[in-house]
């Protein structure tokens, strides 16, 4: 039985900041297989991430993301620096940031939360588990959490 008051879930804008092409492919696949079709945007380093978020240069028409999936170990500008800039920027700080990284280092976990990450997830190495984790992130932020502007 369906709830007649239930609103259809609107797609959200997700920014994936990831330099590993394999992880990008797995994330795209996880989103494509999921029943809710969100808009996944991908940038491969921290400089591009901040340009996308600020709609600068080649990203001047970029939508404002509702969710950021952020790797920590990035070229040009580290993910930790991106997180710090996002969470101290008045215009960006309310965007939820999920750190999705290979690092299991306790210092990375602590620093990410100190910088106000909304969640810290260590990427599984197993493909099926990775896809499952991405689906759970997507489901949580689309179905459970109320995002600003939605």
Domain residue ranges in the chain:
13-139
Q: Is the pLDDT of residue 129 over 60?
A: yes
Mean pLDDT of the chain: 86
Instruction: In whole angstroms, give the CA distance from residue 30 to residue 44.
Output: 18
Rounded to two decimals, the pTM is 0.88
- 149 CB-near residues (< 8 Å, 6+ apart): 66
pLDDT band per the 50, 70, 90 thresholds, residue 1? very low
Instruction: In whole angstroms, give the CA distance from residue 72 to residue 128.
Output: 22
Q: What percent of the chain has pLDDT over 70?
A: 85
pLDDT band per the 50, 70, 90 thresholds, residue 43? very high
pLDDT at 125: 81
Q: Is the pLDDT of residue 44 over 70?
A: yes
Instruction: In whole angstroms, give the CA distance from residue 110 to residue 116.
Output: 10
pLDDT at 36: 54
pLDDT band per the 50, 70, 90 thresholds, residue 118? very high
Q: Is the pLDDT of residue 145 over 70?
A: no
| Superfamily of the domain at 13-139 | Response regulator (3.40.50.2300)
């Amino acid at each position: 039985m369906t709830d007649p008051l239930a609103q259809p879930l609107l797609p959200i804008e997700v920014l994936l900041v990831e330099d590993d092409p394999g992880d990008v492919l797995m994330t795209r696949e996880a989103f494509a297989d999921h029943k809710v079709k969100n808009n996944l945007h991908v940038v491969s380093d921290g400089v591009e991430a901040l340009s996308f978020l600020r709609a600068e240069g080649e990203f001047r028409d970029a939508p404002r993301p509702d969710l950021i999936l952020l790797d920590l170990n990035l070229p040009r500008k580290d993910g930790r620096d991106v997180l710090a800039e996002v969470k101290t920027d008045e215009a960006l700080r309310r965007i939820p940031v999920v750190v999705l990284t290979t690092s299991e280092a306790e210092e990375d976990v602590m620093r990410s939360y100190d910088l106000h990450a909304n969640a810290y997830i260590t990427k599984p190495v197993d493909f099926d588990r990775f896809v499952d984790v991405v689906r759970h992130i997507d489901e949580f932020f689309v179905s459970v959490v109320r995002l600003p502007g939605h």
